[in-house]
């Protein structure tokens, strides 16, 4: 795999939110690997929470192995727990979760939520909220693989029915069951282009 030239700008930058655990089926880990590989093979950059565990570590490792750049942003408290990924292209150690999320948002062209837990939910909802308030207009994607987010999507639709949210707010999130299709949609919606790198796996 041929990596982008040193100092060259990545074709695009995707912020991926995902679990710090691998989940209960190998499908989750395999999908995270595919996401990282897709980003790396197209000269892209992964922005994520800087962890080495679970789906976070898998997507980072796969991006690096495919020649992509990885920007990890992690609070000092988690570094102290030895959860930081020590092979990131850039590893930024910050003081607070607020600083972490702000920097992740600034460094991204688009956002993608994979399966995860409460941290993933919180990050996804915050960046979605920021978009509907006009703080950014970057694409936001939710990967509903294996029906993982079926319950959440049903609840959000019930919120619309109860008139606490409008359909236009739901339309600010792109939902797909296929990771690679969703990645392509998000990058194109951000107005960016890419090409498959030479010697891609």
116: enclosing H helix or E strand: none
Q: Please report the pLDDT score of residue 2 as a whole number.
A: 33
Neighbouring-strand partners of residue 70: 46
Beta carbons of 48 and 183 less than 8 angstroms apart: no
Q: Report the candidate in 55, 66, 1, 65 with the shortest Cα–Cα distance to residue 30.
A: 55
Domains annotated for the chain, with CATH where assigned, are: 13-189 (3.40.50.450)
- Which pLDDT score, from 0 to 100, does residue 199 have? 41
Enter the pTM of the model: 0.93
Q: What is the pLDDT of residue 75?
A: 96
Residue 189 has phi, psi (to 5 degrees) of: -65, -25
Q: What is the pLDDT of residue 7?
A: 52
User: What's residue 4's pLDDT?
Assistant: 42
Tokens 């359909």 identify what position? 167
Residue-wise DSSP of 139-171: -EEEE-GGGTTHHHHHHHHHHHHTTSS-HHHHT
The confidence score (pLDDT) of residue 3 equals: 38
Rounded mean pLDDT for each run of 10 residues along the chain, 201 residues in total = 54 97 97 98 98 97 98 96 94 97 98 98 98 97 97 98 98 98 98 72 40
């Amino acid at each position: 795999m041929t990596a982008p030239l040193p100092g060259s700008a990545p074709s695009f930058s995707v912020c991926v939110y995902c679990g710090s655990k691998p989940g209960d089926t190998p499908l989750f880990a395999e999908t995270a690997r595919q996401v990282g590989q897709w980003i790396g093979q197209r000269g892209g950059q992964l922005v994520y929470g800087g962890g080495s565990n679970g789906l976070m570590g898998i997507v980072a490792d796969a991006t690096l192995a495919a020649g992509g750049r990885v920007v990890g942003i992690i609070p000092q408290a988690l570094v102290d727990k030895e959860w930081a990924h020590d092979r990131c292209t850039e590893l930024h150690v910050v003081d607070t979760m607020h600083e972490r999320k702000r920097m992740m948002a600034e460094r991204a062209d688009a956002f993608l939520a994979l399966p995860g837990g409460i941290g993933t939910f919180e990050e996804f909802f915050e960046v979605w909220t920021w978009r509907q308030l006009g703080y950014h207009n970057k694409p936001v994607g939710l990967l509903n693989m294996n029906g993982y987010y079926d319950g959440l999507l049903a609840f959000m639709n019930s919120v619309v029915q109860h008139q606490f949210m409008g359909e236009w707010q739901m339309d600010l999130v792109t939902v797909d069951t296929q990771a690679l299709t969703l990645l392509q949609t998000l990058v194109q919606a951000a107005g960016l282009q890419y090409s498959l790198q030479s010697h891609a796996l």
